[in-house]
Amino acid sequence: MRTCYDVTIIGAGLAGLQCARLLARQGLNVLLVDRKNTLRQKIHTTGIFVRRTLVDFDIPDDCLGPAIRHVSLYSPAQRPLELVSQHDEFRVGRMGQLYERYLQQCLHAGVHWLPQTSYVSHSVANGKVELQLSSRSVTTRYLIGADGARSRVARDLKLDLNREFIVGVESVFQGTVLDGPPRLLCFLDPKLAPGYIAWIAHDGEETHLGVGGYPSLFEPTAALNDFRSRVEGIIDLRNAKQIEARAGLIPVGGVLRNIANSTGLLIGDAAGAVSPLTAGGLDPCMRLSAFAASVVTEYLSTGHVEVLQVYSGELFRSRFASRLWARRIAATLRQRQLLEVGCALLRLPVFSRLAHHVFFGRGSFPDVTDSLSTLQHSKGELCRQHFP
Ligand SMILES: Cc1cc2nc3c(=O)[nH]c(=O)nc-3n(C[C@H](O)[C@H](O)[C@H](O)COP(=O)(O)OP(=O)(O)OC[C@H]3O[C@@H](n4cnc5c(N)ncnc54)[C@H](O)[C@@H]3O)c2cc1C
């Protein structure tokens, strides 16, 4: 008889891997599918993890670069504002290595792994989901879309779709020379990075040099070349070796509202789980995937479809309100002079606290423990209402 998986996850980025290993550790029969043949290919992230993620999740130390405490924020005229934290704030993940480590943990927990296989479509029959994959068809009780910013699974499940994106491109180097401690250098410049920033993340071992912005307002590869030549006086790349090129779309419209139904749900970029202001998506991947794993485990063990109602973007959107407003403002800041004045203001003590808060604040993706207690509460309520 053909296997019926409890859960099939499409996409083995950070969101899919985190969810797969948690579900399998709960004893569920999980299939993980990705179109890539190796997880070291086509990585969609710089991999900067913030302190809160490093504290709350088991990210192996050998998959992370040295800690970073310093941020230099450059105005369009390249006047720097130096910000220093008392804590180790960031570490740049060695993402290929981290994905492979999480995949090993998935396999150890019993996850079935199908690389080099694309999701094509699905249909529902007799309460089961029939999945058409590029290499075969499979049956599953529940489907999870972890297939990134332009999720095909979201479209087929008739759930919400991301509509606002920035695009990011970067080169990764070894052997660069940059004086001083490991640091993040962020450049505000409406030409190089309209609506976002250009960045150098240098942890002493690897250097990521990238630009991001609204795709309709710039040509990313040309902007990256331009950026590289503009920072020649800051970073010495003459003897550096480029080891990777990375690129991807980043959804910045906030967590989508409708992200679950009785056939499947969305996690990671597919759910729009990215901070609209900083465009950080790694912390949301870890937290939303953990939340999804507990909701799906509960749903499959009880069969109560009401449990899925708790898994809604509405839980998180109110906590994103200020960041969505900040994104609206960032999208309109296209004049160099205006940004220069803004940067000058940030040097005043009262405003530099704001910059400190943006870079070093502990607030990240809304804490899922709040949502989990909502889940516990609603489960109790649901049981009382529906199963007296
Ligand atoms: C250039 C760039 C830099 C970034 N830097 C940072 C950063 O430093 N810190 C931070 O917090 N956030 C950063 N982000 C955002 C963050 O990286 C993402 O939010 C996060 O990686 C999303 O993970 P994911 O698992 O949801 O998606 P992805 O990593 O995109 O994984 C999706 C997976 O689905 C697979 N897939 C897609 N379609 C199919 C299909 N039809 N069939 C089978 N498989 C499929 C893909 O192959 C891929 O492996 C950055 C984003 C970009 C683009």
Residue 387's pLDDT is: 32
Residue 179's pLDDT is: 86
Q: Name residues contacting ligand 1 (CB within 6 A).
A: 10-16, 33-36, 44-48, 118-119, 146-148, 152, 168, 170, 210, 246-248, 250, 268-269, 274, 279-283, 285
CA 316 to each of CA 45, 204, 291: distance values in angstroms, whole numbers, following the listed order: 23, 36, 12
pTM of the model: 0.92
Q: Which residue from 77, 92, 84, 99 is spatially nearest to 47, judged by alpha carbons? A: 92
Residue 147: which pLDDT band, with cuts at 50, 70 and 90? very high
CA distance 9 to 163: 23
Q: For ligand 1, atom 13, name the residue with the nearest CA.
A: 280
Residue 373 has pLDDT above 60, yes or no: no
Centre of ligand 1 from the C-alpha of residue 13, in Å: 6
Residue 321 has pLDDT above 90, yes or no: no
Q: For ligand 1, atom 39, name the residue with the nearest CA.
A: 147
Residue 371's pLDDT is: 52
Residue 15 has pLDDT above 90, yes or no: yes
Residue 196 has pLDDT above 70, yes or no: yes
Q: Which residue from 48, 53, 44, 51 is spatially nearest to 16, judged by alpha carbons? A: 44
Residue 150 has pLDDT above 80, yes or no: yes
Buried b (16+ CB within 10 A) or exposed e, 127-155: eebebebeeeebbbbbbbbbbbbebbbbe
Mean pLDDT score, 283-307: 95
- Of ligand 1's listed atoms, the one at least distance from the Cα of 120 is 41
Span of 73-87, 117-131, 251-265 with lowest mean pLDDT: 73-87
CA distance 378 to 380: 5
